[in-house]
Structure 1
Amino acid sequence: MSAARVGVVTFPGTLDDQDAARAVRLVGAEAVPLWHADHDLKGVDAVFLPGGFSYGDYLRCGAISRFAPLMEELVPAARAGLPVLGTCNGFQILCEARLLPGALTRNASLHYVCRDQRVRVESTDTAWTNAFAPGQELVLPIKHAEGRYVASPETIAELEANQQVVMRYIGNPNGAIDDIAGVRNESGTIVGIMPHPEHAMEDLVGAPSTDGRGFFTSILKKLVNA
């Protein structure tokens, strides 16, 4: 398990890359820095797209990031099966890159939301959630102004039918359709969520839980059993 290498991508404006790298190391994997302007994934076994304000969120959140040189390598690798997790801005980037369906729009309240949020795990058949039990409730931090998940009625129906909703809010903080806090691709290798598991890893820093650890132990389990 200690040989697993998880790439952590940094764009201009990324805020959570160091937290993400620490989360990877805390579960015994190697965190590999990946710079947005590079064309090299460095042979990593999985990739984490962390939160922040990539490229200043100009145009739309994640809209410019999808054209970064590194994404030219990441998109085909992800479509070929490389496990990828995007949190918050990373989720927005995955949707902009069409690796996940739907979009993240302004919160229904039009206010920035920053709080500890209770969520329910809906899908454990993924590279990033297999350590959880179906229906398990977690407490994870959220911090976003554009976290309201939307998609066409046809897409929502397809996600629900295929069990591609990974996580739902318990007490919807942003007006997301069907309380959706995260979704996955059909194979379960690509997951996008708005909450921040990398900020719920250690009691020492005052987090209300260490529920975020399950995302990182999940990918280790997936890589070891691959």
Structure 2
Amino acid sequence: MRIGVVTFPGSLDDGDAARAVRLAGADAVRLWHGDPDLHNVDAVVLPGGFSYGDYLRCGAIARFAPAMESIIDAARGGLPVLGICNGFQILCEAHLLPGALTRNQHLHFRNRDQWLRVESADTAWTNTFQPGQEILIPVKNGEGCYVADQRTLDALEAEGRVVARYIRGNPNGSQRDIAAVTNEAGNVVGIMPHPEHAVEALTGPSLDGLGFFTSVLRALAGATAGASHAGGHQ
């Protein structure tokens, strides 16, 4: 499987995301923000960092990058896309996910290991977890406070689209302790903490983040098997 990792001006964690992809067992394909060609990747990761220096709003300029125009179209067609931290902000700016990420309520940058509870294992990026499973991965953000209107929040809850919540403390004031959400189809996930920083025992704090990357490989393998099975009965 080929998983694309996009590099924007100001991306910091694209190398870490690519390493996580390789550790999960896939080929990491580096994608450049100015190139609309996705090079036949099977999924895409939008990494953390400060794309375009976070000018205007976090993710607001990156949303219009040539690569993003292709990713938006492909995501609406079913391509799995994971947005991590700044990538989550970009997905919201691109309207692939609802809501917005705003300044942390306490107005401080927060960098710490954070416990999450996985709420949904029905997405392309979380199917190797169990609902209710508690995982430990780092969080590092200054604009990580997830906000949306009450109608949107209620819809996310009712439709099972809250992917993960902060537990044992909310690091940024996100409404309803939301750390990650998904679109209606379950192929697009945005998460504020950093699973790519929890994939190796050497660096810690756990191996819990690796499940996000192995999940998409399982989802892609299932889709390929399903397509082959359907083709055999035509």
Category of TM-score, reference length = shorter chain? over 0.9
1:73 counterpart residue number: 70
Of 1, 4, 20, which aligns to 1:7?
Answer: 4
* 1:106 corresponds to 2:103: yes
Of 19, 23, 47, which aligns to 1:50?
Answer: 47
Of 137, 142, 146, which aligns to 1:140?
Answer: 137
What is the alpha-carbon distance in structure 1 between the residues aligned to residue 91 and residue 24 of structure 2? 24
Question: Shift of residue 68 of structure 1?
Answer: 0.4
2:185 counterpart residue number: 187
* 1:59 corresponds to 2:56: yes
Q: TM-score, length-normalised on structure 1?
A: 0.98
What is the alpha-carbon distance in structure 2 between the residues aligned to residue 157 and residue 104 of structure 1? 17
Alignment of 1:146-161 (within 5 A): 146-161=143-158
What is the alpha-carbon distance in structure 2 between the residues aligned to residue 76 and residue 225 of structure 1? 22
Aligned length: 222
Q: Which has the larger radius of gyration?
A: 2
* 1:223 corresponds to 2:216: no
**What is the SS of the residue equivalent to 1:204?**
coil
What is the alpha-carbon distance in structure 2 between the residues aligned to residue 210 and residue 99 of structure 1? 28
Residue deviations 1:156-177, cap 9 Å, x none? 0110110100000001111100
Of 194, 199, 215, which aligns to 2:197?
Answer: 199
* 1:178 corresponds to 2:176: yes
* 1:163 corresponds to 2:160: yes
Superposition CA RMSD, Å = 0.5
Amino acid of the residue matched to residue 190 of structure 2?
G
What is the alpha-carbon distance in structure 2 between the residues aligned to residue 5 and residue 209 of structure 1? 25
Residue deviations 1:92-140, cap 9 Å, x none? 0000000000000000100000000000000000000000000000000
2:118 counterpart residue number: 121
1:209 counterpart residue number: 206
Amino acid of the residue matched to residue 175 of structure 1?
G
Unaligned runs of 5+ in 2: 224-234
1:96 counterpart residue number: 93
What is the alpha-carbon distance in structure 1 between the residues aligned to residue 25 and residue 133 of structure 2? 24
Q: TM-score, length-normalised on structure 2?
A: 0.94
What is the alpha-carbon distance in structure 2 between the residues aligned to residue 27 and residue 87 of structure 1? 17
What is the alpha-carbon distance in structure 1 between the residues aligned to residue 118 and residue 139 of structure 2? 15
Question: Shift of residue 208 of structure 1?
Answer: 1.6
What is the alpha-carbon distance in structure 2 between the residues aligned to residue 27 and residue 191 of structure 1? 18
4+ long deviations beyond 2 Å: none
Amino acid of the residue matched to residue 195 of structure 1?
P
* 1:87 corresponds to 2:84: yes
Amino acid of the residue matched to residue 197 of structure 1?
P
